[in-house]
Amino acid sequence: MRVAIVNDIVMAAEVLKRLVLTIPGCEVAWVAYDGAEAIDKCVADTPDLILMDLIMPHLDGAAATRQIMERAPCAILIVTASVSGNVSQVFEAMGYGALDVTAMPVLGNNPNSPGAQKLLHKIKMMHRLIGKEAESNVAAAQSALETMSAPAEDVPPLVVLGASTGGPLALNTILADIPSEFPAAFAIVQHVDGPFAENLVSWLNEQCPLTVEIAREGAVPRAGVVLVAGTSNHMTLTRSRRIHYTSQPESSVYRPSVDVFFDSVAQYWPGKGVGVLLTGMGRDGARGLKNLRDRGWHTIAQDQESCVVYGMPKAAVELDAASAVLSLDEIAKEIVSVASAETTPVGGAT
C-alpha cells in the first residue's frame, strides 16, 4: 500500500514516515507540507492512503480533503494533534470523504508507544478496507443467531441508520429535518473510533432538534431519542430490546458493524420500522438491510449522486435490499411518512 503524508511540521511528517515504513507491504508515496501541495501531488500521483493533518497554513486538511475527493479520490485518514479541539473541522473533513480520524502520536521515535500503536492499527485497518478483505466470519457468526423473533407488543417504530465515509454530514442533514416531537426511536451505527463517538453526539446535538445520546449498555430505544453506537465493539439489540455491545465477530473489518446491528434488530425488534444505509466505503450494512426488508421493514439506500462514496448503498441495491433509493435531501421526508404510518402506543421494555 502506497501511503502519502500531509503535515506542515517537518518532524511530525518524519515520525509518520518512519511509522508507515514499519508496516510490511507499505511504502511512502510522497510527503506534502500543506493542503495545496497535497492536492497537486495527489492529482499527479494518487496514493492508496493519505495521512492528512488538519490545521495547516494556506489550505487546511478539510479543504484539501474536499478537493482531493473531487479531483483524485483516495482513502484519507485525518491525523491531528487535537481531535477534541477541532471537532467541527474533523466532521467537515469526514463529510467530504475522510474515512476516519485519530490523534497524532507524541513526537518521538518509539513505534511501541500507545499513540503510535493506535495509529498503526488504523493504517492496517485502512489497508484491509482498501484491499476489500472479506469478512469471512461475519456471515457465519450471524447465521448462528436464533431466528425466532420476539413477541409483538406496543412499541414505537424504530429508525436504524448505518453510515461510514461522509456519514456525519449525511446524518446531520437527515436528523435536522426530523421534527423534535416525532414519535419514533432512532439508532445509528457510524463507522468511527469509539472515543470519538462522544464528539459526534455533541456535534449532532448542536445541529438537530432531536435528543442525541450515546447508546449505553442496557439502554432501550425510545421515541424522540437518537442513540449512537458508542464503542468500537459491535452494537446489538437483545431480545429484551436493550442495547448490548460485543467484540464478536472480531474478524470484522468494520467496527462497529452495521450488518451486526441490523441483523439483531431484524431478529429482536417486535415492531416494524425504517432501515437506512448511507454513504460509505465497502459493503457493510447491505446484508443487514436485506434482512430488515425480508422482515417487512421499509428500507432506504442513499442514491449515488448524493453519496460521498457509493459503496455501501450500491451493495444494498445490488442485493435488492432497498425498498427505495433516494437522494439525501429526500430521506428525512420518507422516514417521517413511513414511520408515521407505523406509529403505535409505546409500551415498556420486557
Catalytic positions are 164, 191, 284
| Cα 294 to Cα 345: distance, rounded to the nearest angstrom | 24
**CA count, 13 A, side-chain hemisphere, 232:** 13
| Cα 162 to Cα 165: distance, rounded to the nearest angstrom | 11
Give whole-number Cα distances, 197 to 129, 131, 225, in Å: 20, 26, 16
| Cα 311 to Cα 278: distance, rounded to the nearest angstrom | 9
Beta strand 298-302 with 324-326 is parallel
Task: Check if the beta carbon of residue 259 is closer than 8 Å to that of residue 145.
Answer: no
| Cα 124 to Cα 24: distance, rounded to the nearest angstrom | 10
- Report phi then psi at 316, rounded to 5: -65, -40
